[in-house]
Amino acid sequence: MSGSIGLKSYITGSELVSSLIAQCSWFINVMPAIATLRANARRVTGLAQAIEQVQRPRDFYEQTGKSDFRYSGQNSAFGLTIRELELFHEGDVAKPFIKATDLRFRRGEWTCLMGPSGSGKTSLMKAVNGLWPHGAGDIVLPEGTRIFYATQEVKLPRLSLKRLICLPDTDELHTDARVASALHKAGLGEFIEFLNSKHRDGKAWEDVLSGGQKQKLVLARILLQAPGLLFLDEATSALDPAAKVAFHQAIKEASPHTTILSVMHEPQPPRAADGKEFYDSIVLFADGVATKMPLSKRAKPAGLKVVVEKKTSMDASGGGFTI
C-alpha cells in the first residue's frame, strides 16, 4: 500500500513463509508432547530421589525435624512398653506437644486414651505403629504378636466381600465358614449369601455399606484374624450405643488376651450389658503429658473447670470427662 513492496514480492514471500511453516509443522505438533515428556522426566527423577531417601527413614525425616524412635521386642507376656516418648510436629523441635515417660500395657489389658481433641491421642498410636515420624523414645512391642490398627474412616476397594474381610490376608488363608462366622458375629449376617460377590444389586460394597456397617466389617476382620495387639482409633464412631457395646463384647469373647488401646470421644468408655467395665485403665492427655492410671482412679485433668451438681457428680467441662 505504501509502494515499498510489490505484489509479486508479497506473493513470493507469502509462499516462502507458508513453505517454512509446512516444513516446521511437525515440530509445532510435537512441542506439547516434548513438554509432557520433560515434565514426566522430572517426576520420575523426583520419585527416584524420594525412593533413595526413604531407604534411610531417619535421615529423611531429620531434614524436617527430630526422628529418633527406637523399636525393639519383648516376650509377649509383658505386653507393650513405651518409655521416654516425645512427639513433635514437622519442622518444630523446640518443644514436644506430647510426652510420655513410662507407659506399660500388660497382655490382655484394655486401655482408653482420653483427652481433648488435638491433645495427641492419635499421634501416640501412630508413633507406636511407626506412622508418626517426628519424635523420639523407646517402643517395645510384644514379639510374635499380630498388630491391627483400625481407624475411623473405612475405604473399601472393589473386591469381593470375603476378600474385604480377609484383608490384609489373602482370602485363600481363610475358609468361607470362618469368614461367614466372623461376619455374623460382627452383626452383618444378612450379607453372608453375597460373600464371594464384588457387588450387590450392581453396586460396589463401598456404596452398599453405611459408615456403621463398614466399621462392623472391620470388626469382622478383627474377629477373623484375632490380633494380639489392637489399636482402635475412633473405630466405633459411626455406631449407636448398643452397637458399640456389641462391638466390644464380640472382641472380649473372641480375644480375651488381646491388648487394646482405644481412642474415643465419649465421656465414659462403654460397659458390658451386665454393667462390667470393658476397659481396665486410661491414658489421660493433659497439658502435653500422657499419664496412665486405673480406670477407677481417673483424676481431673489440670486446668479444667469442675462443676459440682446436686447429684454429687462432677463434670470437667471442656475436656469431656466425667469424674
Q: Judge if 117 and 227 occupy the same domain.
A: yes
Residue corresponding to grid cell 481396665: 280
What pLDDT score does 210 carry?
96
Q: Judge if 313 and 232 occupy the same domain.
A: yes
Question: Is 21 exposed, middle or buried, given 0-12, 13-18 or 19+ CB atoms closer than 10 A?
Answer: exposed
DSSP state of 238: T
C-alpha atoms less than 13 angstroms from C-alpha of 19 in its C-beta half-sphere:
6
The structural domain count of the chain equals 2
72 part of a folded domain: no
- The SS3 assignment for 142 reads strand
| Final residue belonging to a domain, choices 55, 79, 95 | 55
All three cell numbers of 275, joined, read 454393667
Rounded CA separation 285/119 (Å): 6
Rounded CA separation 98/53 (Å): 27
- The values of phi and psi at residue 268, to 5°, are -135, 135
DSSP 77-109: GG-EEEEEEEE--TT--SS-SEEEEEEEE-TT-
Rounded CA separation 59/61 (Å): 6
What pLDDT score does 292 carry?
96
DSSP 216-235: HHHHHHHHHH--SEEEEEST
Neighbours of 72 (CB within 10 A): 10
| Final residue belonging to a domain, choices 55, 77, 93 | 55
121 part of a folded domain: yes
What pLDDT score does 170 carry?
92
Helices 211-225 and 241-254 cross at an angle (nearest 10°) of: 10
Q: Judge if 13 and 125 occupy the same domain.
A: no
311 part of a folded domain: yes
Q: Judge if 117 and 14 occupy the same domain.
A: no
Q: Judge if 291 and 226 occupy the same domain.
A: yes
Smallest Cα–Cα separation from 300: which of 312, 318, 288? 318
61 part of a folded domain: no
Q: Judge if 150 and 237 occupy the same domain.
A: yes
183 part of a folded domain: no
Q: Judge if 24 and 113 occupy the same domain.
A: no
Q: Judge if 309 and 241 occupy the same domain.
A: yes
All three cell numbers of 71, joined, read 523399636
238 part of a folded domain: yes
48 part of a folded domain: yes
Rounded CA separation 56/44 (Å): 19
Contacts of 275 (CB under 8 A, 6+ apart): none
Q: Judge if 31 and 119 occupy the same domain.
A: no
Q: Judge if 233 and 300 occupy the same domain.
A: yes
Contacts of 99 (CB under 8 A, 6+ apart): 85, 86, 87, 288, 289, 290
66 part of a folded domain: no
| Final residue belonging to a domain, choices 40, 55, 70 | 55
State which residues form the domain around 32. Answer: 7-55
Rounded CA separation 114/97 (Å): 16
Q: Judge if 18 and 114 occupy the same domain.
A: no
Q: Judge if 36 and 150 occupy the same domain.
A: no
CATH number at residue 298: 3.40.50.300
Smallest Cα–Cα separation from 123: which of 231, 280, 238, 211? 231
Question: What string of pLDDT tens digits covers the 323 residues of the chain?
Answer: 566 777 777 777 777 888 877 777 777 778 888 888 888 988 988 888 777 776 776 676 766 678 899 999 999 999 999 999 999 998 887 889 999 999 999 999 999 999 999 899 999 999 999 999 999 999 999 999 999 999 999 999 999 999 999 999 998 999 999 999 999 999 999 999 999 999 999 999 999 999 999 999 999 999 999 999 999 999 999 999 999 999 999 999 999 999 999 998 888 899 999 999 999 999 999 999 999 999 876 644 444 443 434 333 333 333 333 32
